[in-house]
Structure formats: structure tokens, C-alpha cells
Amino acid sequence: MTQSVRQLRLTFLLTLSLFSAGLLAITGYTLWRLNADAVRAGYEISALHTRSFEDYLTQSLHIAELAAATSVTENDGRPDLAATEVAFLATLRNSPFLRSMSLVDDQNRIIASSNPANIGETITLEDFLPPVSGAREILRIGVPWAGRDFAGGRRTTADAPLAADALSFIPVARSLSFGDHAVTILIALNPDFFVNLMSQSVHSETALIKVLRYDGTLLIANDPDARAGTVNAGDLAALVQTDAEHGRFERDTDDRSGALSTFRTSSLYPFIMITHLYRDTALQGWRSEAKALVFVVGPALLAVILIAGAFYRRRIQLMTQRAEAERLQRINATVFESSAEAIVITDVNADIISVNAAFTRITGYGTDEVIGRNPRLLASGTHDRAFYTRMWTTLLDEGFWRGQLVNRRKDGTLYHVQMSITASRDTQGKLQHYIGDIVDITERKQAEERLHLAASVFTHAHEAIMITAPDGRIIDVNAAFSRMTGFSREEALGQNPRILKSGRQSDEFYATMWKTLVENGQWSGEVWNRRKNGEVFAEMQTISAVHDEHGNIQRYVALFSDISRLKEHESQLEHIAHYDALTSLPNRVLLADRLHQAMAQAQRRKQRLAVAYLDLDGFKSVNDHNGHDAGDQLLMTVSTRMRQTLREGDTLARLGGDEFVAVLVDLDAVADSVTLLTRLLAAAAQPVHVDDLVLQVSASVGVTFYPQTEEVDADQLLRQADQSMYQAKLSGKNCYHVFDADHDRSVRGHYESLERIRQAMTENELVMYYQPKVNMRTGKVVGAEALIRWQHPEKGLLLPGSFLPVIENHPLSIELGDWVIDTTLSQMEAWHALGLDLHASINVGARQLRDPGFVDRLRDILSAHPQIPPSCVELEVLETSALEDLAGVAEIIQACSELGVKFALDDFGTGYSSLTYLKRLPVAQLKIDQSFVRDILDDPDDLAIVESVLGLAAAFRRQVIAEGVETVEHGELLLQLGCELAQGYGIARPMPAAAIPGWCASWRPDPTWQACRTVRRSALPLLFASVEHRAWISALIHYLKGERGAPPPLDRHECAFGKWLDAGGLNHRRGDRTWEQIQSLHRSVHELGTQLCTMHARDEDQHAELERGIRDLLELRDALILQLRALLQLAERPAGQRQAEYRPAEAVTQRSYAAGTER
């Protein structure tokens, strides 16, 4: 368990870590990608602004340059100043980005201007960029000036830049040539115009837009705090590192958040446009997305961790609970039989249904002698009626009685017992059983009587003995006292018995005890005491007062025994009776009780309930390929998962094998069950890890609902769900199918209505056929089974399957069943008149058997046919019908047996087949179901089942008969297993009553049956080896014919027969000719099989060759089986005859061997 928990913890932590790391990695990568996308988009936005404003400024300068070039006119080789000023004013009216336009002569003096105040101002052009020599006709840009225009303005320097809020303009110069003279047009650009234009598109808090000269001098910026004329060394340094005319770079800002910067150099003029898009602005959307993602991923990861933690804790809890449950189940399985005390379990009528081995040892009665009888058979006659009346009154009022009484053994001797009887009730308080625990205290009684004479008894008694003075002071204890309490004799002497007091019982209890002791001189009862180590334990204690000859109390003697285990037994026995040992789910008995309660509750609450019948798809394959241990682990895991999907009030029960039933209660509508059914399917289909294996099955579920339009009982609901389950399997498995009551009624109506069947009874259309039952070895006809037929006037002879389902669970079925019994007994009288005294077995339906008047009607029918002894009548009850109400059916069978009628359990093996149930049903004969007998020749599993049933029947001293004997080989194999009684088509088909006498007179068993002997148990492996080999050959032929997806194991050491040989199946003949021939034949079979599989895998048209190979394969099979059969016959003969009698088989084997080895 610790290893499993450690492995689970490691797996949980590793899985959770990987999941968390993966989720965080994905989240980080997503944030990184979103950030990169946001940065890229920011750069694109910055570049867009840069390009847009650069284009606009370049266009504006170009317009100014064109205006300058066209504004100056000449007159006699010199500029016409008046016309020029008029042109300047016209240009300014259409150019808001211009403050003024002036004409400068070659002395740098303004000689004409749009602003008359500028005339006469001297302007230096040395700091204009680009620097030129001569009259180059290019546009040059100067440093910003403070003021509105040249008049009153001043030139700025890097050391004395403009104030942030100062009015400024930007001078731009354009040189023109007029003959030998050169003039310069000086333009004052309005920077506020461009700032306003920038601010309309980009807020200064979002991005910073700058216009720089080539030397880094700031011309224009949208930053209110920017100072024109300053040199932007940082931007200039970033631009110096690239030769491109446009591009991007990162730039730190004052708040260190950084900016996404782009630049663009004007293609015409000496300025650079730079846009700094603040990183905070560019990443604002990314931060919102990042926060949203973190707010989603964080809680999700936390939720996953919490859910995973809860699942882990729940898983640990379930593993612990399962381990504890398994431990308790193992204890429960041994408690009953290993208990030293006799344990008796009775039904509610106080009829014994189970006893343990200690009961037989104490009473002398065997189990078969007491089952079904009342415990009063043990009465000694020494107790009056009043004693038993008080006992039952206490038991009925308090649910528990404990006391002492004298019983009588089978041999007539009397013995004293300490007995406790507990009324066992279910969770609803309904009485289920009485459990009696019997301790033989005869020796203790004798010890009490001789206590003052036999000191050795005191010393060696198994019960603890304590002797006290009248004042309660301990004066002696025996060794058992020390072993039981932990107190040594020296520690106990002089102490008061209160040193053992546990505190579980009140002061009133002890007061009553002493009152009884004083009044009666004796007290006996159950006491909870405490050992020296503090452990509390239960003990059965008897205290007696010892008097002197004058009647004065000399001492008190207390005897007590530890009954702690008995207290555990009482609760464990209750669990054994109602729960499945493997899965701890309710069994059939508890399911039947809960289903009845759920149906009653549904009626009271006006609600619906669903009954779901589940069968695991593929479970047999898991068992066959991985073993029963893996199958058991799979069943436990799947049952736990399915149980967890249900609600608190629902029930999941295991019927046996891989079949389960779920009862879903409190449904307001049919649709409410869909979610539960879907969860059941999902739970069953989840993979199951068993060691290194990953096993997976699915479930086919049949569902029916209650109440229905017609009255149905619990048995019908289970059959409806079972029928729907098979429909689910036909629909492809791993699904559920809902029972259609209307469709079912229409199917039943297809055969005949109830009234038509009743009419058939009145018009004598129903007839009886009889199938003989024989002893195959002696040839004696031991009886016949009565089988009903319908001689329909239109449809001919109908089998019972076509009309009996119509009347199932209908009162007509009881009437028809009584008619069958009466008709069969009348026929037996007719045979008797012909001199044929033949026993007859009659099938009895579940409803007929459980009908309250069945026993009385059977008695009346037997009385009406006095010539037929009741012992000649045998009633066959289906195993599944008997298990539905085991206690009730057992009581009915017992009552019928008292009439002399025998009972047989039909179709044995198809139900639960519990040893406890078999022991509790007083049937004389078991009938092996034909589904197992039919395939025993080539199915090792069916052979094992039949052999097990025969062993079970022998162990319980039951007669056994096999049905479904279709061939001579079937009969021969059954006889070798020890089954002599049989019926089937291989013996005789059902026939009219008139044909029975003639058939009985002419019947002779097959000669091989008469010569066949029951094999010794030591020779059984030879039988199984033959069947295993047949099964392997059959599987290979099915594969070669395309009827199977994969061949059986081709390695001769891997097939079942080969494993048996390798395990020493014929070690006693190793080295002789027999062993060598079997080895050679087996080798030849596998070599030929491998060749045929290779031929089949090539997918060539070799049909004829394959057919010849299969015929050779069958010859080799027969030769090998002939060898094993000869060995089997030889094993049953005296040692002196074996060698001589074996040789004829060798020649046959050699011929068959040659046929296979030629290939």
C-alpha cells in the first residue's frame, strides 16, 4: 500500500509540475509574441507619422521655394522691388505656414519684404545649412529665431536657445541669380502652424515629433517643453550610426520607459523628421491583453492545482479504503469457519440456514442435518416454556439476548452453553437474520461446581478467574487473568476489581449487577473492561457467590472470557451475507431487497426509477489474455469508478462475473437518467492500469423504467433490462438501450394473446412431449422430462418459447403450470397401466413456485393420483429463479420435500452458483446447462466448468445430470468425467407420450459408452490436453478460413498443449517411444500450421492447397488425440497390461504422422 501511495504521489507531482510548467511556458510565449507584435505595430505607426509629416513639410518648403523663385521680377537687370513685394504678399495670403518673405541683397541687407518692418535689417547667412559658396540656387535652413519676424527678432544659438513658450520662426534662404548679380530670398517659416498640424494627429503625451537640421538643431517639436535651437545630441548620435535615409531606432526617454523611434531624411531639403512613439503608448493594448490573460490563466492554474489536489486526496482515501476493505473481506472469509465458537444463522422464521464447523464439533449434527430445521432440535427439555418465552420476548423487544442454557447433542448427551442471539436488520430496520453465537461452557460449569476442590482447574482454566473477598478485595487470580488483562498476579492481589473498569458502562449497570448478585448469588453478562495497557475489550463474565455451611458469603468467584473477536464476527457476518466479496458491492440478495424498496418509494413519491443492466464488453478477452488476477483488478477498479458516478441514494450491485445492475432512484423524468447512464458508460470505458498493463473494456447497458403502464415486478424489470442490454450489444456495444414496453407487447402479441392461450387450454390444443433421461453406461432409462407443446391448428407444433413468455408473471402461468403437473401425473398412470414405471421431471416457473397456494395445490394433485408415488415426481427449478428469493424458495422446496417430491436445480451454472446458496437449497439433483455441455469437446473453459460442477455436486452429495448431449463423443467425455446421467438429441429428441414405451424397449446405449470408465483424477490432465489441442486446431482452421482475425500461437511451446508438455505433463514417459511420438506429432502439427499461415498471409489463390493442408492438419490432430486416448486407457489398466496393450496405437500413429510430415 505504501509503495502504491508513493508511486501515486510521484505521478501526481510529476504530472502537475509538467502541466503547470507547460501552461506557464505557453502563457509566457503568448505574452512574448503579443509584445513583439505590439512593438512591431508601434514602429509601423511611428514610421507612418514620420513619413506623413516629412512629406507635408517637404511639400510646404517646395511650395515656398517655387513661390520664391517666381516672385522676384527684374527691371533692367535688377530686381523690381515693388513688384516683388506685391508677389510676396500674394504668396503669403495662400501660405499660412509662412510669416514673411524678404529679398536680401548681396550685402545681406533686406531690400524688400512682405513685412515693411523687415527692410533694412541685416541678416547673416553663415549658419544656414547646407553651407554653399557662390550663388547656388538651393534652399537652405537657418537656426530658429526668437520673435515673430526678422524685425525685432534675434538669432538663437545652442548656448542660448529659445524659451519653451517663446514665439519663434525658422529662416529659410533661397539664392537667385540676376545676370552678374545674386540675390537671396529669405523666408520666415511659421513653426506654430506645423506644431498645430502635428497636434491634430498625435498628442504630445503619445508621441514626440521633431524636425532637426542635419547638425541636430531642433527646428520644430510638438512637445510644449521643447526649446527650439537646442542640439539633440542623443538623436543625432543614433542617426550617425546608420547610412539609411529612413529607419528605426530605440531611444530612452526621461522616465526610462523608452520610445519606438523612426526617422526620415527629406529627399529635397536639409532636415530630418523624427517620431518618438512612447513605448508605454505602443504597449498599452498589450498590457491589457497580458492582464486579461494572466487573470484567466492564473485562476485556471490555481483551480487545476486545487482540483488535482482534491482528486489526489480522494484517490489516496479510496486506495486506503480499498486496502482496508480487502483486509476485512479476507478476515470475513475466514471468520465464519475458523471461529472457535459455534455460529448459527437462521432466517426470520428461525429456520437454520447456515452453521459453521464449530457447531458440528459441539453438537454432533452435520450441516445437512440441520439446514432448514428449527434450533429447537437442540433443546434438552431441562428448561420450561417460560424460559424460552422470556428469551424470545427479550430478543424481539431489544434485538439481543444472551444467557446460559442446557442443550442436547446428537448422541443424547447434555452440555451447557453460553449463548448470544442477535437480530440482524438491514439499513431500513427490516429483520434479515438471527445470528447465534454458542460457547460450550460445560467445562466451565463443572469447574464452578468443583472450584473449591480442584485447584488445578483454577490454575489451568482458559477462562480468566478472579477470586475476591466479600469486600471486593482481590485475593487470587489465575494465569489466564494475567494473560487477558496484562496485570500480573502480584499486581492484582489486594486491588479492587475497579482497576479493570473501562468507563463504557454506567454506574447503574454495576448497581444492577450487584443487586442481582446479592439476590441470586450469581450474575452473568457482558462487561467491557480495560487491560493494563489501556486497551478496552469485551468479556463474558460470570460471578458467583461462594457460601459457607452457614450461608454466609466467603468469597466471590468471577470467570470471564474475551469475546472481542465475537463482537467483530457479528458485524463481519452481516457484511458477508449481503456484499460481493471481490468488489464490496451489494450482491443479488441485497439488490433484490433494495429494488423492492425503491419500487415502493417510487410509488409513494410519484417518481420514476431506472434499472440499468450492465455487461462489460471484452472482459472475457482480458481474462483469457492476462489472467484472472488482472481481470479481478479490472473489475474492482471499474466497479469503484461506476459507483462513484452514482448519487448517494442509487445502488450499484454485482450479479456475478462481469454483470452489474444499477438502480437509479428519484427521477422526475426519463431524461434525468441520461447523464447518469452516460457517466456509467464513461467510467466503464476508462483505461485501467494493472502493473505494466493498460486494460480497457466498455459496457453495454440495458435500461428499463418503473412504473410502467402494466404492472411489473422486480424480476420483470431485471429481465427487461437484461433484454435491452443484449440489444445494446447488437447495436455496437459501449452504449445503452432503453427497453421499449410497447414494442415488447407487440412482439408477444405476435404469437398469441392471453385469451388465445386460455382457449388452447380449454380446447386441448396443448400437449405434452417427453424427453428420456438415461444412464449412459448401464443403459437404464431413469426418467423423462415433461415438455409442453402447442399443437396450433394453423401454425402447427409450437415450441414453448413462442407462447410461454406471453403468460410469464401472469396468473395464467400458475394455472398452466398446475395443468402440466396434473397432465404429467395422469400420463405416468397410463404408463404404469402398461407396466412402465417411469419417473418424470416437470419444470416449475418462478411465479408458480412462489405462489402462496402452490404447496397445497401440489398436495391435492398428488392425492388425485394415488398410484404415483411422490418420490417418482421431480420438480425442476431454474437456478436464476431460485436465487431471486433464496430464503422463500428454500422454504417452499422444504415443504414440498416433506410431501415426498424431489427437486432438481435446472440450468445449473448460468446463475450465481454460490456455494452458500447451493448449501441452503435442499435440491437432490443438479442439471448442467446445455450451453456448457455442447462445447466441451473443443472448449477447455466449458470442460473445466463441467468438471467443476461435477466436483461440486460430489462435495455436496448431489446427483448430477447433463443436458445437451448431442454426439457419442459428448457422452464418452462425460462418462470419463464421472457423469453417467444425461439427456439430449444424441440420446433422444422430445417425443409424444405414446412413443415413450416403444423407445424405452428399443433403447440401447452406444457400445463405447458401456466400455467407458471414469478416469482417475490423476489422469484428468490427459483429457484437458486433448481438448486444448482440439481448441488450438479449431482456432487455426477458423483463421485459415478467414473467420478469425489472428492465428493462435504458432510456437509449439506457447500453445496450451505445448505448455502442458513443457511443464512435465508426460514426464513419466519421457524418453520412451510414446513420448517421442507425441512430441514429433505436436512438432509436425505446428510446422504444418506455420506453413499454412504463411501461405494464407501471401493472399494468393491457393484455396485447393489450403484445403489439402487442413485435411492433413486434421489427420495429425486425430493421430495425436489417438495417442493421448490410448495413454488415457492405459492409465486406467493394471501396470502389467500397459505395455502390451499400448502397441496397436503406435502403428496408427505412424501412418497419420507420415501423412503430415510429407509436406
Residues 287-318 have pLDDT tens digits of: 787 888 888 888 888 888 888 888 878 888 88
* The three cell numbers locating residue 234: 542623443
Average of per-residue pLDDT across 439-445: 84
Q: What is the pLDDT of residue 361?
A: 87
Q: What is the pLDDT of residue 645?
A: 93
- Under a CB-based contact definition with an 8 Å cutoff, are residues 374 and 351 in contact? yes
pLDDT band with cut points at 50, 70 and 90 for residue 1133: low
CA distance 704 to 718: 8
Q: What is the pLDDT of residue 257?
A: 67
Q: What is the pLDDT of residue 984?
A: 93
- Under a CB-based contact definition with an 8 Å cutoff, are residues 917 and 884 in contact? no
Q: What is the pLDDT of residue 773?
A: 96
Asked whether the bond before 130 is cis by omega within 30 degrees of 0, the reply is yes
Please indicate whether residue 147 or residue 72 has the higher confidence score (pLDDT). 147
The mean predicted confidence, pLDDT, of the chain is: 83
- Strand partners of residue 109: 122
- Under a CB-based contact definition with an 8 Å cutoff, are residues 57 and 194 in contact? yes
Lowest mean pLDDT, pick from 344-358, 964-978, 1095-1109: 1095-1109
Chain-centre distance of CA 695, in angstroms?
11
- 252: phi then psi, degrees, rounded to nearest 5: -70, 150
Average of per-residue pLDDT across 193-222: 83
20 Cβ contact partners less than 8 Å away, ≥ 6 residues apart: 301, 304, 305
- Under a CB-based contact definition with an 8 Å cutoff, are residues 277 and 267 in contact? no
360 Cβ contact partners less than 8 Å away, ≥ 6 residues apart: 366, 367
DSSP calls for 248-304: EEEE--TTS--EEEEEEE-SSSSEEEEEEEEHHHHTHHHHHHHHHHHHHHHHHHHHH
> For the whole model, what pTM was predicted?
0.40
pLDDT digits (tens, 9 = 90+) for 119-136: 988 888 888 888 866 546
- Under a CB-based contact definition with an 8 Å cutoff, are residues 354 and 436 in contact? no
Is residue 1059 pLDDT above 90, yes or no?
Answer: no
121 Cβ contact partners less than 8 Å away, ≥ 6 residues apart: 102, 109, 110, 150, 151
* The three cell numbers locating residue 494: 489486594
**How far is CA 498 from each of CA 528, 531, 1101, rounded to the nearest angstrom?**
12, 12, 96
For the beta carbon of residue 412, count every other beta carbon within 10 angstroms: 8
pLDDT digits (tens, 9 = 90+) for 691-712: 888 999 999 999 999 999 888 9
CA distance 902 to 772: 18
Lowest mean pLDDT, pick from 228-237, 705-714, 897-906, 1144-1153: 1144-1153
For the beta carbon of residue 128, count every other beta carbon within 10 angstroms: 21
CA distance 1071 to 1078: 11
Q: Which CATH number among 3.30.300.30, 3.30.450.20, 3.40.50.300, 3.40.50.1580 corresponds to the domain 41-281?
A: 3.30.450.20
Is residue 917 pLDDT above 90, yes or no?
Answer: no
The separation between the first and the last C-alpha atoms of the chain, rounded to the nearest angstrom, is 57
Lowest mean pLDDT, pick from 75-89, 235-249, 531-545: 235-249
CA distance 694 to 691: 8
Is residue 34 pLDDT above 90, yes or no?
Answer: no
Q: What is the pLDDT of residue 77?
A: 65
CA distance 164 to 227: 5
- Strand partners of residue 467: 476, 557
Is residue 1146 pLDDT above 50, yes or no?
Answer: no
Q: What is the pLDDT of residue 294?
A: 83
Instruction: Cite the DSSP H helix spans in 130-208.
Output: 191-201
- Under a CB-based contact definition with an 8 Å cutoff, are residues 993 and 830 in contact? yes
CA distance 585 to 578: 9
Q: What percent of the chain has pLDDT over 90?
A: 23
- Under a CB-based contact definition with an 8 Å cutoff, are residues 261 and 237 in contact? no
- Under a CB-based contact definition with an 8 Å cutoff, are residues 990 and 771 in contact? yes
Average of per-residue pLDDT across 999-1019: 87
Query: Residue ranges of the domains in the chain?
Result: 41-281, 283-338, 339-440, 443-570, 579-739, 766-1001, 1018-1157
CATH number of 579-739: 3.30.70.270
Detail the DSSP E strand segments found in 776-896.
781-792, 796-798, 840-844, 873-878
Give the Cα-Cα-Cα angle 103, 104, 108 (nearest 5 degrees).
Answer: 165
CA distance 263 to 267: 13
| Domain 766-1001, second-level architecture | Alpha-Beta Barrel (3.20)
- Under a CB-based contact definition with an 8 Å cutoff, are residues 270 and 142 in contact? no
- Under a CB-based contact definition with an 8 Å cutoff, are residues 406 and 415 in contact? yes
CA distance 345 to 452: 38
pLDDT digits (tens, 9 = 90+) for 328-339: 767 665 667 777
Instruction: Cite the DSSP H helix spans in 699-798.
Output: 714-730, 741-751, 754-762
pLDDT digits (tens, 9 = 90+) for 627-653: 888 999 999 999 999 999 999 999 999
Please indicate whether residue 577 or residue 436 has the higher confidence score (pLDDT). 436
Q: What is the pLDDT of residue 882?
A: 53
* The three cell numbers locating residue 606: 410519484
Give the alpha-carbon dihedral of 116, 120, 126, 130, to 10 degrees: 30
pLDDT digits (tens, 9 = 90+) for 157-203: 777 787 777 888 999 998 877 666 778 889 999 898 888 888 787 87
Topology of domain 443-570, per CATH? Beta-Lactamase (3.30.450)
CA distance 869 to 320: 60
Is residue 812 pLDDT above 60, yes or no?
Answer: yes
CA distance 15 to 276: 47
Asked whether the bond before 707 is cis by omega within 30 degrees of 0, the reply is yes
CA distance 68 to 101: 8
CA distance 262 to 254: 18
CA distance 613 to 720: 9
Nearest Cα neighbor of 653 from 573, 583, 701 is 583
- Under a CB-based contact definition with an 8 Å cutoff, are residues 758 and 742 in contact? no
* The three cell numbers locating residue 44: 509601423
**443-570 matches 766-1001 in fold:** no
- Under a CB-based contact definition with an 8 Å cutoff, are residues 71 and 87 in contact? yes
Please report, as a single letter, which amino acid is at residue 969.
E
pLDDT band with cut points at 50, 70 and 90 for residue 1071: low
Cell 486434421 found at:
1114
- 215: phi then psi, degrees, rounded to nearest 5: -90, 5
- Strand partners of residue 1042: none
Nearest Cα neighbor of 661 from 732, 715, 606, 729 is 715
- Under a CB-based contact definition with an 8 Å cutoff, are residues 710 and 741 in contact? yes
Average of per-residue pLDDT across 726-733: 85
CA distance 774 to 973: 16
- Under a CB-based contact definition with an 8 Å cutoff, are residues 945 and 982 in contact? no
For the beta carbon of residue 9, count every other beta carbon within 10 angstroms: 13
CATH number of 339-440: 3.30.450.20
